Structure 1
Amino acid sequence: MMKWIRYGTKESGLSLVEVLASLVILSIVSLVLTSFFTNALAYAKGNQSKTVMVNLARNALFYMEKQSFEPIETYFSNPSRTAISCLVSGCDAAVSQLAEDPAVLQQILNPNINGVQYTISVIYQRDMHNNMLHDSDKQNMAEELMPVMVRVERVNGTASARNAAEVEGYIASERVR
């Protein structure tokens, strides 16, 4: 007959309750980490989109700086005109006259990048310009520079800071370029 030898009264190993408790804790930690990485990915994608919009705004500002100053100055001399923008379908006649090539202006103001449609507005900062004109130290400079803000928005985006970008700059006359 065989004799069983016991080395202690305690059994070694994990009980079912301990295994279930550790699985619950592991699941909670996994969900928290998954949520963190999902939010980080969305944030990174938003930053990438914002970078594209800032670059589009800089491109539009650079393009407008290279256009003839006189037509732009004349366009904004009308108090009802506060911005240069085009619909995706096309620019109106007054805006089309501001560029040497209206088709290029249409593409600059309504770019489609990686399948995302953007719209760009070049907004004249009339109050800032008037303040510069009335400041004796800045008056000479104000006659040669036109302050503008370039605003880029996603066409199908929700209204949020992540779906718009703004860049401020000046359109200079040919005399100071």
Structure 2
Amino acid sequence: MMKWIRYGAKESGLTLVEVLASLVVLSVVSLVLTSFFTNALSYAKGNQSKTVMVNLARNALFYMEKQSFGPIETYFSNSSNISCPLSGCIEPVSQLVEDSSVLQQILNPNINGVQYTISVIYQKDMRDRMLSNPDKKNMAEELLPILVRVEKANGTASARNASEVEGYIASERVR
């Protein structure tokens, strides 16, 4: 004889409520993962921007290191120029470098559609400390400590929108 299988109370499928509950859980998990990847993408883009700024600062530092020491030392020795970084004083500084149009491009670059401003700042306090130390006096007379600061021209003031590199402009006798 044949047995008849009856459907009803022993049915083993998913109800509509269970399917909807699993969809809600899956949606919440996917939203969390989406926000994680969005934050990771934003962080990676910030790191890319920071890398560009560090490279621009190094480029400006390298350019300044290759300029004549005497005129730059004279420029920074003048007390009125200490508070005037090179990016803000293009006219007087243009006499210090071999090609002022190159200086303009170096201090105000536009990379990938983003405008940057580069400031070359003389660190007078550091040089004064070196000059006052008898062991470092000879070295201090041949070096100008500078700080190169790169900022996004239209960015807000934050650590992600600025970068600094310190270095020295050495006299021709040391190079």
Question: Per the shorter chain, which TM-score range?
Answer: over 0.9
Structure 1's unaligned 5+ residue stretches are none
What is the aligned residue count?
A: 172
TM-score scaled by length of structure 1: 0.92
Aligned partner of 1:84 in structure 2 is 86
Alignment-derived partner of residue 141 in structure 2? 143
C-alpha displacement at 1:81, in angstroms?
1.4
Q: What is the RMSD computed on CA atoms of the aligned residues?
A: 1.7
- Residue 169 of structure 1 corresponds to 167
Match status 1:132 vs 2:112: no
Identity %: 81
Query: Does structure 2 retain, via aligned residues, the 8 Å contact 1:86–1:110?
Result: no
Structure 2 unaligned regions, length at least 5: none
In 2: Cα distance, 1:84 partner to 1:100 partner: 15
| Residue number in structure 2 paired with 1:36 | 36
Runs ≥4 in structure 1, deviation > 2 angstroms?
3-9
- What's the CA shift string for 1:121-150, capped at 9, x where partnerless? 001111111000000111100000011110
Q: Please state whether the residue corresponding to 1:166 is helix, strand or coil.
A: strand
Aligned counterpart for 2:94 among listed residues 93, 96, 120: 96
Superposition TM-score, scaled by structure 2 size:
0.93
Are 2:109 and 1:111 equivalent residues in the alignment? yes
Aligned residue runs from structure 1 range 40-51, under 5 A: 40-51=40-51
Give 1:153's aligned residue: 151
Partners of 2:19 and 2:112 lie apart in 1 by: 49
Q: Are residue 68 (structure 1) and residue 68 (structure 2) matched?
A: yes
Question: 1:8 deviation in Å?
Answer: 7.7
Q: CA deviation at 1:6?
A: 2.3
